[in-house]
Amino acid sequence: MKVALVMGSESDFPVVERGLKILKEFGVETVVRVISAHRTPDQAVAFGKKAADEGIGIIIAAAGKAAHLGGVLAAVTVVPVIGLPIKSSTLDGLDSLLSTVQMPKGIPVATVAIDGAENAALLAIEILALQDDQLKAKLIEYRAAMARAVEESNVRLQKHL
């Protein structure tokens, strides 16, 4: 299954790219698009409606300011949507976070931290790993490598002290 990374503006790509890198490291097929909930709403609805038929298993929707992209996509598909609020020039991204996380009852959008592209990608991988044992094994090894890195940093710190 593919993960779609959809962003409201090309200016969101530097954040989205961090998640894209992780998905590629795990060998997850991706689709990347710029689609605006406000400026191209017909495209957003069409993309959401055909997502499942296109083999998309999860959508990561990155948007700043009013950040309605995740909600618009979630409203027209049963494919899980992960909202990625982007820090904007106003309110340090709090507006994006609240717009993404405050979905009405019945239209959930899982939401990660402001500019949390890495966690959005990892959450998508966790969801896909429920049906993919190879991906699950890669995720387990990824977590083990993180633990080893923390242990190694502690050893370096202790030597420094």
pLDDT tens figures, 16-72: 999 999 999 999 999 999 999 999 999 999 999 999 999 999 999 999 998 999 999
* CA 47 – CA 134 distance, rounded (Å): 29
Query: At which residue do the structure tokens 């094994």 appear?
Result: 137
Per-residue pLDDT averaged across 138-146, rounded? 98
Q: What percent of the chain has pLDDT over 90?
A: 97
Query: Own/partner pairs for 108-113, CB < 8 Å, 24+ apart?
Result: 108/74, 108/81, 109/61, 109/70, 109/71, 109/74, 109/81, 109/82, 109/83, 110/80, 110/81, 110/82, 110/83, 111/70, 111/82, 111/83, 111/84, 111/85, 112/82, 112/83, 112/84, 112/85, 113/85
pLDDT tens figures, 58-112: 999 999 998 999 999 999 999 999 999 999 877 999 999 999 999 999 999 999 9
User: What integer pLDDT is reported at residue 88 of this predicted model?
Assistant: 85
